[in-house]
A and B are shown apart, each in its own frame.
Chain A
Amino acid sequence: NAGVMQNPRHLVRRRGQEARLRCSPMKGHSHVYWYRQLPEEGLKFMVYLQKENIIDESGMPKERFSAEFPKEGPSILRIQQVVRGDSAAYFCASSPGQGFGQPQHFGDGTRLSIL
């Protein structure tokens, strides 16, 4: 399966814990995007990364949230000290390059539930 791989599919955390969401882009794709979808709402852009670089993090909360895309391994979205409002579906997407008109391909998402 050469698609975008996200894990875990479901993640349950208690308030105050840390959540780590992983995303492996499609083969040949070097651009990764993270989105959050709250219940009954649309997808909200969080961050755009290339290998070892954060290109645009304008949609990411300034506190508790961080993202990385190391040279080796998957992209990680990290949420520290989770709160109930962090409960959402987090989708990762990838694209092959920087050219305009490049569609993004999505993973299955991680459903994060905060108890």
Chain B
Amino acid sequence: RKEVEQDPGPFNVPEGATVAFNCTYSNSASQSFFWYRQDCRKEPKLLMSVYSSGNEDGRFTAQLNRASQYISLLIRDSKLSDSATYLCVVNGGSGTYKYIFGTGTRLKVLA
């Protein structure tokens, strides 16, 4: 089992749609969780951290389910500019600062 698993997609959605991605992780000792986006093989950019209580940043909502070991990202009112690959990132476990990246989920928002 991969340490961090994501559905590679692609997810093709119309503008204005709501889309959700899930990510599962294998190490129950992981403590830090993030969503990054990566455009066309450019550098990953931090989208948001994921907190236990769930958190929202504008059109983006992140949730963490420790019992089931998954993280989700919800994007509301999709924009063309949201087209990118979304990377789920988890730290490697207690006492380590190594971050494990998922292979990413591709999103394409269509006009």
Contact B97 A31 (CB under 8 A): yes
Residues of A contacting B97 in the complex (Cβ-Cβ under 8 angstroms): 31, 48, 55-56, 95, 98
Contact A105 B46 (CB under 8 A): yes
Tell me which residues from 65 to 93 in chain A have a Cβ below 8 Å from any Cβ of chain B: 89, 91
Residues of B contacting A25 in the complex (Cβ-Cβ under 8 angstroms): none
B85-108 interface mask toward A, CB cutoff 8 Å, 1 = contact, 0 = none?
Answer: 001000110001111111110000
A102 CA to B100 CA, complexed, in Å: 14
Q: Is the interface of B mostly helix, strand, loop or mixed?
A: loop
Q: Does any Cβ of A come within 8 Å of B59's Cβ?
A: no
Tell me which residues from 29 to 68 in chain A have a Cβ below 8 Å from any Cβ of chain B: 31, 33, 35, 37, 41-45, 48, 55-56, 58-59
A100 CA to B99 CA, complexed, in Å: 11
B interface residues, tally (CB under 8 Å): 22
Residues of B contacting A95 in the complex (Cβ-Cβ under 8 angstroms): 97
Count class of interface residues, chain A: 20 to 34
Q: Does any Cβ of A come within 8 Å of B21's Cβ?
A: no
Q: Does any Cβ of A come within 8 Å of B45's Cβ?
A: yes
Contact A56 B44 (CB under 8 A): no
Among residues of B, the one whose C-beta sits closest to the C-beta of A43 is B101
Closest CB in chain A relative to B65 CB, distance in Å? 18
| Contact sample, A vs B, 13 pairs, CB 8 Å cutoff | A33-B99, A42-B87, A42-B103, A43-B87, A45-B92, A45-B99, A56-B96, A91-B44, A95-B97, A101-B31, A102-B32, A106-B44, A108-B43
Binding site for A on B (CB under 8 A): 31-32, 34, 41-46, 49, 87, 91-92, 96-104
Binding site for B on A (CB under 8 A): 31, 33, 35, 37, 41-45, 48, 55-56, 58-59, 89, 91, 95, 98, 100-109
